[in-house]
Amino acid sequence: MARFGKWIGGGLGWAFFGPLGGVLGFVLGSVLDQAQTGTQASPAGRTTTGDFAMSLLVLVAAVMKADGKVVKSELDYVKTFFTRNFGSVATQEAMLYLRDLLKQSIPVRDVSRQIKNQLDYSSRLQLLHLLYGISLADGIIHPQEISLIDQIAADLGISRQDSMSIKSMFVEDIDSAYKILEIDKSASNEDIKRAYRQMAIKYHPDKVGYLGEDFRKAANEKFQKVNEAYEKIKKERGFV
């Protein structure tokens, strides 16, 4: 059985009795048919790869359906993401799960609130980053999708500053670099340097390293955006 299926099986432990478990109940039979190990609850205070993988798939499905249609570019983005990080076999399983999830009625707010209680903050930030990437995969800002992601961020317990920081990595405007670093354009050079150090710590890939090397690679994209924003501001202001 591919790794992704094992993650789903392992994560069903904490999802089964909540709204997330209700949405994913239809995969339980196939997981049990294939898996040789039973489901396990997450260790207290620690997000597992299964927890994260299930949360990602369910929220991805919700966002993809938000504008009333699922387009090929979004599916391609998801497929490319999983292939790059998890390999072709795991991707085949993930896309099958996603196909079935797209047919479900997802109680997004209830699911998001359950995820808030189960996933640590760094993992929730990474989820938000991936959702924006999928929403903008076709190069178009869909108001329904962005509105839903904003609501998901709030229900996930992500602060407005952090939410705006991640959104600005995808939805650019004249002040995007400052928003990514969570500072005002009037901030001093020293304040900017201090903000960069804080954001570099917050978004460092090691913060989700316990999810495995696969998800750590994905988190590196967010970390690079912080570095790019800092370099852009330094170039504009002419300081080192």
What are the domain boundaries of the chain?
Answer: 3-158, 174-240
CA pair distance 219, 13, nearest whole angstrom: 25
Q: Give the CB-side neighbour count of residue 98, counting CA atoms within 13 A.
A: 25
How far, in whole angstroms, is CA 228 from its chain's centroid? 20
Q: What is the pLDDT of residues 147-187, one digit of tens each?
A: 999 999 999 999 999 999 999 998 887 789 999 999 999 99
CA pair distance 22, 16, nearest whole angstrom: 7
Q: Which class would CATH give 174-240?
A: mainly alpha
Nearest to residue 59, comparing CAs of 108, 117, 4?
108
Which residue is associated with the tokens 């170039």? 235
pLDDT level of residue 17 (50, 70, 90 thresholds) = low
The DSSP code for 116 is H
Angle at CA of residue 85, ends 163 and 1, nearest 5°: 120
What pLDDT is attached to residue 54? Answer: 78
26-30, 44-48, 69-73: which has the highest mean pLDDT?
A: 69-73
If you average pLDDT over every residue of the chain, what do you get? 81
C-alpha dihedral (23, 24, 25, 29), degrees to nearest 10: 160
Q: In this structure, what token pair is assigned to residue 219?
A: 């988190």
What average pLDDT does the segment 32-55 reach? 54
**Global pTM?**
0.79
